[in-house]
Structures are given as C-alpha cells and as structure tokens.
Structure 1
C-alpha cells in the first residue's frame, strides 16, 4: 500500500521561516531518536555483558569449591560468598546436577537434577535444557525461574575423579557434574529501565534546548530580511529613494542590485520627461506658426486651420500629460506632501481669477498627509479640478482633505450651478464640455480621470453642500 506524501498548507510551503524550522526540527528529532536508540542499545549490551560476566564469576567460584567426599558424595568445600545465595528466592541461584557416568558400572547411578542447590532455591529445582555442554564449554540460556519469571543462566560440565573403590593399577573413575548459575533478569532490566528513563529526560532537555536554539537561530538569521522589508517599505511609502541600512554580506549584493535598478528607473523616467518636453516644444512651435498665419484672415481655409490647430494642441496636451504620468507611475520612493501643493495652487488660482473676486478656502489639513506619486501629476490633477471649480463657482470654493485607510480623499466644493446627475459620467469623457459658453478644451476632467486611474484612484462627482458641484478625488496616500 502506497503512503500518500505529506501535505503542507500553501503558506507553509511559501514561508522560508517554516521551511527552515521544519528542516531543523526534523533533523533534531531524527538525531535525538538515533542517539536514544544507540545509547540505549550500547547500555543494554554493556549491562548484559556485565550480568553474564558476574554469573561466570559465580560459576568459576562454584567450580573451584565443588568436591567429592569420602562417601563419594558431591559437596562444596566452602560456601559461596554472595549472601543472596542464602536468601530464599533472592533472584540469584546455583544448582549442581549429577550426570550419568560412562561404563556399565555407572548405569545404576542415573543422572539426577538438583543434586546440590543453593538455599535461595528453597524447595525448587531449575528446569534446564536436556543437552549438557561439552567438557570445557560454557553455555548461556534463558530458563523459567521459581517465581515464574525468566532467569539468565550459565552452565558448564566438570568431571571429578573418584579416589577410592578402584582396584590396584586401575584408572580412577570420573563422575560428571553439571554446574548451573542463574539470576533473575530483573537484575539486568531494572538498571536498564532506570537508565532509559534518565536518558529520556536528558535527551528531552537537550531536544528542548536545541529547538529553542533553532528558533532563536531562525529569528536572528532572518532578521536582516525583516530589515530589508522595512527598507523596501520606506521606499514604497516615499520616505527614501533607495535601500539604506547595514545588511549581511549575503544580502548586500541583492541590495546593491536593487538600488541600481532604482537608479536606472529614475534615469529612464527623467529621459521620458525630457523627451516628452522636447516633443511638446517640437509640435507646439509649428502649430503656433500655423495658428498665427491663419489669425486675422476671415475665410474658410483660415477658420479650418485655426480649428484643426486648436484640436491638435488639445490632443498634444492630453497625450503628453498621459505619457508623462504613465512614465512616472508608481515610482519607488515617490512622495508629495499635500498641503504645500494645495496652498501653491490656490495662490495661483487667486491670481488667475482675480477679476471674479472668488473666496478660495482651504480647510485645515494635517501636515502628514502626502500623495504617493509624483508632484507634477498631483499638480496636474488638482490644477484642473480647481480651475474648473473657479470657472463654475459664483463666490465660494472650498478644499478639504483627509486620509481613509491607505487612500487620500481630496474634496473640492463650489457654489455654482452644478452638473445634473445624468450628465456627470459624460463630462469625465475626453472632449466633452458641460457648457460650450465657458472657455475650455473639455479635457480637464478627462485628464484627471486618466491620471487618477493610472495611480489606482478615481474622481467622483456629487452634489455640494454649497449648492454646486462636489468633486472627490481618491488617490493613494503615503502611510
């Protein structure tokens, strides 16, 4: 059965922090697991080796003290030294079994299990495998103990010569004995269990420390990226023209390349502005010559030339404004304070419409309000809107501005006759004029609409509390 590949959320797959943490935590967990298995296995092997080495020590001691007395009975010359062998069911046991001797005379002495045994066995006899080891060999087994548990056992076979009861010149007979030492496996498993518990606690603390270290490492390692993001934010908001700050050697080439791109972008924009200006001068000069040549003449050709020259001038102004705005659209670091721009435009409008004695009022505006774009484009939009308001106003024009989220809302009210709701969408189209008696090209509101949309904003028309028209211009603001 195939195992499906693990599924990670899209945010996790796209996060460098989560990738680093996932990889680090995986290797920490794998390393801790391998270390736990390896150390536990090594300690288990060490304890088992020590356990069986101790059994062999007791077996050697039992072998050294085994003897046959004058009555040809097996006995111990000296009791074994470990006190546990005298304590009933202590977990450490020894036993001597008699094996059948070779020859016909020995057939009467059948093998007998438990010929001698330790006091710790009490009235029990160890049930050992039927096959005894060869002389000189030591075998290890697992057998059932008196209490039902498992015992680790070592055994060997020894032969002792019988010194009496032989005829002169005959070789003494040898009796075979099976010597057994056994111990409860809990004597081996208990220290292993304690070690595993302590090992788990130690490795758990180590794992926690490594996880904390990994978190700190990822946070510290990715801190320059947060600094880079903040620097990019300052460029986007217009607070800086290039990435500034101290960055690690691995990120510095990226910062240098990005600053180079910003510089090249500024050069391209400057060239676009210069070319647009040159084009304007190149076109306006012959158009002015044509217009001057046709002025003062009252014939059909002169009127045709004047009309076409006027239309050409309007088209040049419109498309040059649009081209310049498109070239400077969303320039990184572009930032234009709103209040100085409005104050300068209102002073200009007072001079242009001085004969009408209009009252131009600027409501209090926060110093922090700024347009995220080029100053020339802001002046182009506000200049057209203020000029239209002054043309249509009777006495009053009011200007206000406020921030709304990431947008900048500029409101221009006049007390003129306004525009009917059915005609408001039409006046935003290029070349449409609300009143043919009022001088103008019909491009002002259209240019404002195009420029605002290039920046992701829009103008909207509504009824003004002053009785005329209210224009609300929505533009991106600097946070």
Structure 2
C-alpha cells in the first residue's frame, strides 16, 4: 500500500496523471485518424462511382438512358444519403438515382472545382443527413454534363462515435494495468530507501553499529555519509570524554591544595577561601558530571534489558539490606528494552532502590511495565516502600545537589541529583507519589527500544 506523502506515492500519482493525459490524448488522436481514414475511403468510393457513371454515360450516349444505373443497392433506397444525379450544362437534372425521389441534391459551386473539373464538399439533405459529395464534369460532344454522387457521412460519424467509446474502454483497461504496474514499479524502486531506513533505525535501536547492506548508486553515498557521521560522532564523544577526564584531574589537585592551605590557616580570609573553594568544588563536580552524562547518552544504538538489570539489582540490595524484603514483580517477555546505556540504567534504578531500602520499614516493591504516551512508549519503573514518605516540599528538595533530609542516614546527597540529571538527558521523567504501602512511590519513565529479535534467558 502506498503511504500518503511518501516518495512512492508521489511517483505513482505523477506518473498516473501523465498516463491519464497521454491515454486521453491517444484516444482522441486515434478517433481523429479513424475518422479521416473513413472519410478518405468514402471519397475514394464516391470517385469510383463517378467514374462508373461516366463510363455508363459514354457507353449509352444519352444521359437520359434508363440503363444508366449503379449496382450499389443503397442508391435504390430513398433517404439513404446515397444519391447520384446527372445535370446538363445549364444545371437541369437529366437523370438521377431512385433514392432521390423528392430530394434536390445541391450543386457544388464552380469556383470549388479543380483543373480537371472535380470537386468535393460536405452537404446536407432535406432530412438532415450529412453527406460527402463528389462532382465531376464529363464532355459528351457537343454537350458537357456534371455527375454528382453523394455518400452518407452520418453513418461514418456514428461509426466514429462507436469507435471512440470502444477505444476509451480499451485505453481505460490499459491505463488501469499501467497504473498497477506503475504502483509496483514505484514500490520496487523505493525498496532500497526502505532498506536504508530500516538499517538506520536498526542503528538507532542498537541492533547494528553501522548502516549495512548494498544500495543502488543513487543512495549508496547517503549510506556512506551516515556511517561516516556515526564514526565522527563516536570520535567526538571519545575526545570529549578524554578532555573531561583530563579537566577533572587538572582541577582536582589545585582545588585540594587550596583547601588544605585554607584549613591550615585561621582567620576571616581563610574562612572565605574555604567557602569559595567548596562552591568551586561543587560547581566543577556538577558540570563535569553533566558533561560525562551527556557524552555517555549521546552514543547512538545502545539499549539494555531492564528486567535483567532489576533482577541483578534486587539480588545485590537483598545482600546489602538483609532486613528489607524486596518484592520484585517480574514482567513478561514483551516488555520493551531501555534505549540507553546499561550502566546509566543501573545507576538510576540502583540509587532509587537503595534509597527505598534505606528509608523503608522492611518492605519494598519493584514493578516494571510499559506506558503509552504522547511521545511514544516509555519504560515505567515503580519502586515503593513502607517508610515515612515525602511531603511535596521535601520531594523538591531531595532533587537538589547535595541536599540530605536526614544527616544521620549515610550518603553524600548526590544520588538523586545524579538520577535527575540522567533522566533529563534521556528525556524521561521522575515523579514522587504516595505509595499504597504507606511510604514513597517513585515512578521512573525512560525511552524504550525494540527487542531486536533478542530472547531473554531465564534467570533465578
């Protein structure tokens, strides 16, 4: 089926439009040629009858002789449109066909005759019949006579109408077959572009590292350019990672030296330096972390199995928090994969699950599902606990870098901020709600990728 707005559909409608115009023009052209051919044939027949009457006249010697007849029976039938008449030099009728009873066949003006005395014209009889008339002057010493023979042109017009109808029926059938062939050709011609589209989608979904396959000469350079763009993107990301690492190491030592010197001294200046160093350290950490996350998530084609990652994380958390019961509701195999780096998903889900275990009163639930939204399908990770939960004000505070609501609980306060940074980079969402268990429900939504034909292996 041709999709609206596709190149194949555009090619089909363009070719179909020209095909319709061509077939219509062909139909009228064939009809005109057929009409001309019939008219020429009729004129030749009339010329033959004029010659026959001239021979009869010369043989009889008297134009009034009743033996002057034509064998064609149409000249015997009244109102047939087939008439002949012989006139003398004064224009008086001296002999005529039986079909001309009560009919006066007009004479062609002398000015329309050629050098041989022949003339032809289109006339109309008293009954409205269109006729082709041929006249010729014959000399029978000492007198000259004009022989006029007409043929029914209305019959030709009817034949032309029948031919036109049949021609358009045949051309219409041919047009339908050609249109079908045009659609097939359009789809066949667009197959390489469809294959290229699928290959690029496979790269985006993580099924392939580059655009593979052979393509026609017209689009092969496009596939090469896409692969070159992917390679260039990978190189840029690697250089960015390297530069971020170098920057981190380059700033770490000077900041540490300044901090140690400030702590070794007393006074207002030392306090100011310590405060500003902490701001600098937090700012450097923030932007280095963002650069690192952006570099990691800019890599095209990565995906991860959320089910296997959550199984692994729940096993680890059960060992770290032996007093907490973690109930993991495993989804079916149709759950879409996370479109991104596996380590990023572990970091996001691990931080959220670890916080739930720390704040719970011994009970944590984990559920995985997919959710359809305006921007496509999302992977939905729900983690809830039976702890104290969070107020709306606290839910906003915990996403700030370094903020900890309870200083007694171990941690740096950077976990949820890192999670929020990763969620924003991937275009997902992080929501805090009241859990049915009485504590906090965290809903993490992330972009999904196709399974790509992979089959999950059961794990305990």
Q: TM-score range by the shorter chain?
A: 0.7 to 0.9
Do the aligned partners of 1:341 and 1:379 also contact (CA within 8 Å) in 2?
yes
Q: Does 1:201 align with 2:192?
A: no
* Match of residue 165 from structure 1: none
How far did residue 182 of structure 1 move?
0.9
Q: Which digits, 9 at most, give the CA deviation of each residue in 1:11-41, with x for residues without a partner?
A: 96x5322321232112212221232222222
* Match of residue 211 from structure 1: 179
Q: Which digits, 9 at most, give the CA deviation of each residue in 1:216-256, with x for residues without a partner?
A: 11111112222222222222222222223343332222112
What is the number of residues matched between the two proteins?
A: 441
> Which TM-score applies when normalising by structure 2?
0.85
3-state SS in 1 of match to 2:169: helix
Do the aligned partners of 2:81 and 2:129 also contact (CA within 8 Å) in 1?
no
CA distance in structure 2 between the aligned counterparts of 1:15 and 1:236, rounded to whole angstroms: 22
Compare CA radii of gyration and give the structure with the larger one: 1
Do the aligned partners of 2:302 and 2:340 also contact (CA within 8 Å) in 1?
yes
* Match of residue 56 from structure 2: 65
Where does structure 1 lack aligned partners over 5 or more consecutive residues?
1-10, 101-110, 162-173
CA distance in structure 1 between the aligned counterparts of 2:94 and 2:58, rounded to whole angstroms: 13
Do the aligned partners of 1:136 and 1:158 also contact (CA within 8 Å) in 2?
no
3-state SS in 1 of match to 2:401: coil
Q: Which digits, 9 at most, give the CA deviation of each residue in 1:416-463, with x for residues without a partner?
A: 222223321222223332223334333322221222112111111112
* Match of residue 215 from structure 2: 247
Q: Does 1:413 align with 2:384?
A: yes
* Match of residue 456 from structure 2: none
Do the aligned partners of 1:96 and 1:179 also contact (CA within 8 Å) in 2?
yes
Do the aligned partners of 1:143 and 1:152 also contact (CA within 8 Å) in 2?
yes
3-state SS in 1 of match to 2:99: helix
Q: Does 1:393 align with 2:354?
A: no
* Match of residue 7 from structure 1: none
Q: Does 1:81 align with 2:81?
A: no
* Match of residue 433 from structure 2: 462
3-state SS in 2 of match to 1:360: strand
Do the aligned partners of 1:330 and 1:455 also contact (CA within 8 Å) in 2?
no
Q: 2:23 aligns with which of 17, 32, 36?
A: 32
3-state SS in 2 of match to 1:249: coil
User: CA, structure 1 residues 343+312, in 2 after alignment: closer, same or farther (shift >3 Å)?
Assistant: farther
Question: What value does the CA root-mean-square deviation take over the aligned residues?
Answer: 3.1
User: CA, structure 1 residues 283+135, in 2 after alignment: closer, same or farther (shift >3 Å)?
Assistant: closer
Q: Does 1:358 align with 2:324?
A: yes
> Which TM-score applies when normalising by structure 1?
0.82
* Match of residue 43 from structure 1: 34
Moved more, 469-478 or 411-420: 411-420
* Match of residue 138 from structure 1: 118
User: CA, structure 1 residues 196+80, in 2 after alignment: closer, same or farther (shift >3 Å)?
Assistant: same
Q: 2:236 aligns with which of 268, 280, 285?
A: 268
Q: Does 1:151 align with 2:142?
A: no
Do the aligned partners of 2:131 and 2:150 also contact (CA within 8 Å) in 1?
yes
Where does structure 2 lack aligned partners over 5 or more consecutive residues?
451-460
Do the aligned partners of 1:401 and 1:408 also contact (CA within 8 Å) in 2?
yes
3-state SS in 2 of match to 1:152: strand
User: CA, structure 1 residues 284+397, in 2 after alignment: closer, same or farther (shift >3 Å)?
Assistant: farther
How far did residue 475 of structure 1 move?
1.0
Q: Does 1:21 align with 2:12?
A: yes
User: CA, structure 1 residues 318+380, in 2 after alignment: closer, same or farther (shift >3 Å)?
Assistant: farther
CA distance in structure 1 between the aligned counterparts of 2:12 and 2:336, rounded to whole angstroms: 41
* Match of residue 83 from structure 2: 93
CA distance in structure 2 between the aligned counterparts of 1:317 and 1:352, rounded to whole angstroms: 27
